[in-house]
Amino acid sequence: MAGHSTPVYATKGMESEMAYRVILTYFKKSGKYYSTGEYQSEKKELFEIWQEVRDMAGCHPGLVNLWNKEGPISVDVPDHPNNHPHLVILTPEIGNLKVMQERADCNVEMHPWHPMNNPVEVKTLGKLLEEVNELGQACARCLIQGVDEAEPVTLMVNREWLEDEIADVLANIALVTSCFNLDTDHIEERVHTKQERLTKWHEMA
């Protein structure tokens, strides 16, 4: 969420230490946005937090099996008085790959998978997947031909097709949200955060 949150204080016996909220934004090697994650750090100095992020190799929050990833990580500590943007670059050395791969398995337990078998749930989620793929096709057509060009056979303007597919996806998102009783507050908060971050990222183009 936007703005500064109140720092968390972790009490240990009679001592009280400030725990800073650390927000990590992951990018692919190409510079494309990948994912986000966050955690609480009890480090006091920014350089200590940056090093802490480097030392997490393979166990970064929000990612799985990061040991072979070399994309940059944006580190934001919004509550720290000296906070400023910082990039951490992961460049695994060959000699450390085994250790980093072992770290990637930290706290991972094996669990059997059980596919969904409720017909309504399967149809609801499956339809959303279908509509998302159709939206992807509309986006691809707009990229290739232009938003205001027309499909040569149906003569439908790409803009209209894009609008239709976005509407279909939104409709199915609502159905999936209802079917699985998803947390709408969490979804809205995530949407707001994602919009803020991607808006800043788009402005970098």
Asked if residue 97 and residue 28 are part of one domain, the reply reads yes
Task: Return contacts of 98-101, CB within 8 angstroms, 24+ apart.
Answer: 100/57, 100/58, 100/67, 100/68, 101/58, 101/67, 101/68
How many Å apart are CA 204 and CA 181, to the nearest integer?
A: 37
Within 13 Å and on the Cβ side, how many CA atoms surround 33?
A: 15
Which of 16-25, 63-72, 141-150, 174-183 shows the lowest per-residue confidence on average (mean pLDDT)?
Answer: 63-72
Q: pTM here?
A: 0.50
Asked if residue 98 and residue 59 are part of one domain, the reply reads yes
User: Which residue, 104, 131, 147, sits at the end of a domain?
Assistant: 104
Rounded average pLDDT over 135-140: 95
| pLDDT on residue 113 | 79
Please state, for a pLDDT cut of 90, what percent of the chain lies above it. 49
Domain boundaries, position 180: 119-203
Number of domains observed in the structure of the chain: 2
pLDDT in tens, 81-100: 999 889 888 765 544 555 55
Asked if residue 96 and residue 27 are part of one domain, the reply reads yes
Asked if residue 95 and residue 12 are part of one domain, the reply reads yes
Question: Looking at the domain assignment, is residue 136 inside a domain?
Answer: yes
pLDDT in tens, 156-205: 999 999 999 999 999 999 999 999 999 999 999 999 999 999 998 899 87
How many Å apart are CA 58 and CA 69, to the nearest integer?
A: 9
Burial annotation 136-171 (CB, 10 A radius, 16+ → b, else e): eebbebbeeeeeeeeeeeeeeebeebbeebeebbee
Q: Residue 80's closest CA among 56, 45, 54?
A: 45
User: Which residue, 104, 134, 168, sits at the end of a domain?
Assistant: 104
Asked if residue 135 and residue 87 are part of one domain, the reply reads no
User: Which residue, 74, 104, 134, sits at the end of a domain?
Assistant: 104
- Assign residue 143 the CATH number of its domain: 1.10.287
Give 86's strand partners: 75
Asked if residue 85 and residue 43 are part of one domain, the reply reads yes
